[in-house]
Structure 1
Amino acid sequence: MWKLVVGFVLFAALALFILMKSGGDIDMSGEKHDVGAGHAEPAASAVLAASAPAAASAPASAASQ
């Protein structure tokens, strides 16, 4: 049983060494949250929200003429 554990540890260490030396993008620091991904959607909704009052006031001003 101990041979399996030693074999696994050696194989994992060799795999990490090869991946790091070959230029693989390995990040062992844990879960990341992409902060920049959520910025596109609020910008699009802000444009829609800004155009909605302008569109709503256009018929009212046309009706009063």
Structure 2
Amino acid sequence: MWKLIVGFIAFAALALFILTKSGGNIDLGGEKHDVAAHEPAASEAASAAVTAAVEAASAPASAASQ
């Protein structure tokens, strides 16, 4: 049983060594849940869509009043 544990530790260490030396992007920090980084792009797109909709809706009204 102890040979299995030692073999697993040796294999894991070898795998991490090979991945770090091969230039792999290894991040052992866990999952990242950074929603704030994605929020500005989404809100900019949404505000641009709202602005375009408002301009499109006000264009016929201004043309009819002339």
* Residue matched to 1:18: 18
* Residues in 1 aligned to 2:24 and 2:63: alpha-carbon distance in whole angstroms: 62
Question: Deviations 1:32-52 (Å, cap 9, x if unpaired)?
Answer: 235544433322211111122
Instruction: Compare 52-61 and 30-39 and name the one that shifted more.
Output: 30-39
- Which blocks of at least 5 consecutive residues in structure 2 are unaligned? none
Q: TM-score, normalised by structure 1?
A: 0.77
Please provide the CA RMSD for this pair: 1.8
Identify which range, 25-34 or 11-20, moves more after superposition.
Answer: 25-34
Paired positions, count: 65
Which aligned runs of 4 or more in structure 1 are off by greater than 6 angstroms?
Answer: none
Q: TM-score normalized by structure 2?
A: 0.76
Q: Give secondary structure in 1 for the equivalent of 2:27.
A: coil
Identity %: 63
Q: Can you give the 5+ residue segments of structure 1 that lack an aligned partner in the other structure?
A: none
Bigger share in helix: 1
Amino acid at match of 1:40: A
